[in-house]
Amino acid sequence: MLVFVANLGSTSFKYSLFSMKGEAPELLARDGYERVTDHAEVIADSLEKLKADGVIQSADDIQGVGFKTVLGGEVTGCIAADDVCLKALEDNSDLAPAHNPPYAAGIRGFQQKLPNATLVALFETAFYQWMPARRRRYAVPEEWAEAGVKRYGFHGASHKFIAERSAELAGYDDLADSIRSLYVNGPSEKGARNFRVISCHLGGSSSVTAMRDGIAQGSSMGMSPQSGLPQNNRVGDLDSMAIPLATKRLGLSMEEIERVLTKESGLLGLSGVSNDIRDIREAAEQGNDRAQLAREFLAGSVRDWVGTYFFTLGGAERIVFTAGIGENDAALRAEVLTGLEDLGIVLDPIKNESGERGERKISADNSKTEVWVIPANEEWVVARETRRFIENNQ
């Protein structure tokens, strides 16, 4: 089975093609486009390129297309990318304006270009549908919650992969199997061990998730990807009274406020330098106080959420760093975990700062809680879940 995984942004289109012969997807091709104005056009071009390169003989060779869709409100899980999915994306576009419209356009494009393929949507929120009720609510009236004002959580594919891989590394194969089949079978007691993992997905968009036996117990992100940790140029958590204050004291319209909070805030707003942590680190090393503040703000926010979930879970067997910043910024990892020896969390500075890449343990031998770096593998998860959906719906 060949599965095409589409990653769509407002002006970007990236894709990977996988062969699904075994449990682990085999990457056959990967490419992408920037400054996209017509998703249907680049979809057609990508299929022609795969044929020209001899990767496929015909577009009909592709049996499944997987989408890492973001927010469908109460529509979630791993589902058919059909009219119900499209309506859910469009109904929630105001909460995910940078994500939902491109995915809706992409799904429609693939419906036209690959009419014989099965299109599958794996929502970012899917991993959080079994969170405890108190973790899914805000303290708002019931009618607000019924209207969709609740915590959905995001980066589900990434955190689910971390849950699976952490169980494998611990030798808990039954638990890993249970987590892998979560979207098909739901939560299971198979392999249950009270295995507690805190996953830190840190990149251009960041979140922290608490997991017990592979089931999410809380997410730093809430109703939209706008919330939680400071994002690259999105604000993260913010007191709701800031919005009426900005209208009165700064004379900003709601449209202007939305633009500032989604495009000019986060690490960019704090640093005044860049939304890229590498540029911010360089500026901080040169003595830029605002850049230093941005780094401290991000590390402190991650630390706050790790602390929250350490207490929520009653401890943790694993703390995992993943995604671009989490995998590559040793100094930030150290800032997050420094001084926690009394809690049984001891980072090994040599392992942490070694410059190695890939999967590795970076905690000291006497650390009660192991600390790991595990590279993100969201496309792999989408491909595998797409295959599983197709096999279970034939």
Q: Residues comprising the binding site for ATP?
A: 14, 276-278, 324-328
Q: Kindly state the tokens that stand for 206.
A: 């960041």
Chain-centre distance for alpha carbon 366: 31
Q: Which of 13, 324, 293 is nearest to 155 (CA)?
A: 324
- Find the helix packing angle between 39-52 and 100-113, rounded to 10°: 50
Cβ atoms of 91 and 73 closer than 8 Å: yes
In angstroms, the CA 340 to CA 323 distance is: 23
Spell out the residues 6+ positions from residue 250 whose beta carbon is closer than 8 angstroms to its own: none
The tokens describing 276, both together, are: 């890229």
Question: What 3-state class would DSSP assign to 279?
Answer: helix
Amino acid at 321: F
Return the C-alpha torsion angle 17, 322, 220, 288, nearest 10. -120
Local structure of 219: helix, strand or coil? strand
Query: What are 304's strand-pairing partners?
Result: none
Residues in the chain: 394
Annotated binding site: 7, 14, 276-278, 324-328, 378
- Output DSSP code: residue 127: G
Query: Is 230 within 8 Å of 301 (Cβ atoms)?
Result: yes
Structure tokens at 122: 């794996």
How far is CA 353 from its chain centroid? 25
Contact 210, 218 (CB under 8 A): yes
Q: How far apart are CA 39 and CA 103, in angstroms?
A: 9
Name the residue among 102, 121, 109, 118 with its Cα closest to residue 47: 109
Nearest to 222 by CA among 205, 241, 207: 207
Edge-to-edge strand ranges of the sheet holding 318-322: 215-219, 207-212, 196-201, 318-322, 370-373, 360-361
> Which residues does the annotation place in the binding site for Mg(2+)?
7, 378
How many CA within 13 A on the CB side of residue 353?
8
